[in-house]
A and B are shown apart, each in its own frame.
Chain A
Amino acid sequence: MTIKVNGQDFPPPDDARVSLLDLLREQLHLTGTKVGCNQGACGACTVLLDSRRVLSCLTLAVQADGRSVTTIEGLGTAEALHPLQAAFIEHDGFQCGYCTPGQICAATAMLEEVAAGMPSYLTVDLAADRITLSREEVQERMSGNLCRCGAHNGIIDAILDVAGEHRP
């Protein structure tokens, strides 16, 4: 079995204790994914596992065996930015940038969840299949990603901007 990372196959580690986060950073040298708390509380290590957002610090690399991982390096490049990367620059969605890869991976999956009609704690009518993405909805849906620099307003502006472009 193999772990697919940004389209390329890698063998899972021999040591089952290695987290997906450590595999990415220490063994594959994909250092875009950041270590914050290493205990599930900050979202800095967020990556996409089979297109869904997860915390790589609480995922053992062996759990990703046979699955596909996308990190910030797989979303866009300096030459061809992902729309969310461009919007984060445009709206000052960061200061130090440490939380940014996790924010952008989380936001990518979040916009997919909204498009699929998945509700949040704030969604009034849980049975409705269309979500109206308000500022408050973005705050709630992105609450798993902390930002110590307090760049939240820019982050929300950037996400709403990209969400607007996706709106039919």
Chain B
Amino acid sequence: MNPISYSRAASVADALHMAGGQGARLLGGGTNLVDLMRKGVDTPSQLVDVTALPDGIDRAEDGGLIIGAAARNSAVAAHPLVRSGYPMLARAILAAASAQVRNMATVGGNVMQRTRCLYFNDVAGARCNKRVPGSGCDAIGGFNRYHAILGGSDACIATHPSDMCVALAALDGQVHIAGPAGERTVPLVAFHRLPGERPDIETVLDPTEIVVAITLPPSPFAARSAYRKVRDRASYAFALVSVAVGLTMREDRVDAISVAFGGIAPKPWRAARIEDALRGASLSPSAIEKAFEAEFADATLLPGNGFKRGLAKRTLSAMLTELGGPAQ
């Protein structure tokens, strides 16, 4: 690691002032950044600790929820308003990492975390367009079990590893951003970019900007919603496929529906085609199959990750069938 300076921002204005320069990085819990620094993937010269920035979890004016970017993942999952009103979000956070990591990780850092692609993390041994633009991608012809089947490009097929963000995508989360020019809000589903020719540019956040909060509108899905994660071991592993589903039913037909996938794409994948196909329909096996095909028709399957298509389909069908049954 190169020498680094460290300072704690006392306010958002303070952080914006300190973090503008070349080589500066915001430090949340450090669970991702400290590891990347140790591996030489990221080489900042200045760390600005943003964990003293707002971390409240409160009811918003519209009846929804506002979560400060410095809130720890464990605090969000344990909060009564989240457990009762957004159980899918609590379950997604609890599906991630370990209790130790969740105690450290912040909401802002979670949204901004980098991919777990092994080649991205292997500075000495691998080519990676995300780390060194134009150098090539060793995952496409290599070990790609954890890689994307939707939304990838010829340059990069890395997945976004967050569980929390999959639930935020399904719940219509909004990312609140502060910058030198003022504040702006971006829907979570538009916050992460697809790789295209520039996999090194991962979000719409400018380097001079900071994530300050996430808001969620009131959710109709508290009663019928779920987050299911399929992985290589029962706990403490990243997703092969994960699915967030929220449903409301009217006389055995789908009224409102929200579906998002993790583990299959470079960003949390909101499945609008599945939602459109199922709104107003009854949840028969053939309706679910047709809806799934509409979303996954252009999936790119590689030898290492082709199994994800079937796995995603079976996981989604099982969840819809369970949630669509008589209300608990």
Contact = CB atoms under 8 A, between A and B. Distances in A.
Contacts of A40: 31, 35, 101
B99 A121 contact: no
A118 B103 CA distance: 12
Contacts of B6: 16, 60, 62
Q: How many A residues touch the partner, as a band? A: 35 or more
Contacts of A140: 234-235
B129 interface: no
Nearest to B233: A143
Nearest to A38: B38
A144 B99 contact: yes
A119 B94 contact: yes
Given A39-B38, A58-B30, A144-B97, A119 B49 contact: no
B288 interface: no
A81 to B, nearest CB: 23
Contacts of B100: 43, 46, 53-55, 106, 144
Given A119-B83, A127-B84, A143-B236, A59 B30 contact: yes
Interface string A59-72: 11011000000000
Interface string B97-116: 11111011000000000000
A2 interface: no
A113 interface: yes
Interface string B59-86: 0000000000000001001101001100
A140 B234 CA distance: 8
B3 interface: yes
Majority secondary structure of chain A interface residues (helix, strand, loop or mixed): loop
Interface in A92-127: 106, 109-110, 113, 116, 118-121, 123, 126-127
Given A58-B34, A106-B100, A63 B49 contact: yes
Contacts of A121: 91, 94-95, 235
A40 B116 CA distance: 13
- In the complex, which of the residues A106, A123, A126, A140 has the most CB atoms of chain B within 10 Å of its own CB atom? A126
Interface in A33-88: 38-40, 43, 46, 49, 52-55, 58-60, 62-63
Interface residues of B, number: 38
A46 B321 CA distance: 41
Interface string B190-233: 00000000000000000000000000000000000000000000
Given A119-B94, A144-B99, A54 B84 contact: no
B127 to A, nearest CB: 22
A151 B35 CA distance: 28
A120 B94 contact: yes
A130 interface: no
Listed residue (B5, B84, B97, B235) with the most chain A CB atoms within 10 angstroms of its CB: B235
A120 B236 CA distance: 12
A103 B78 CA distance: 22
A139 interface: yes
Contacts of B27: 60, 63
A117 to B, nearest CB: 8
14 contacts: A16-B5, A17-B1, A17-B4, A39-B35, A55-B104, A118-B77, A126-B83, A126-B87, A126-B90, A139-B234, A139-B235, A141-B99, A144-B97, A145-B98
Interface of B: 1, 3-6, 27, 29-31, 34-35, 37-39, 47, 49, 51, 74, 77-78, 80, 83-84, 87, 90-91, 94-95, 97-101, 103-104, 234-236
Q: Nearest 6 CB-CB pairs, A to B?
A: A144-B98, A143-B235, A16-B6, A121-B94, A143-B236, A126-B83
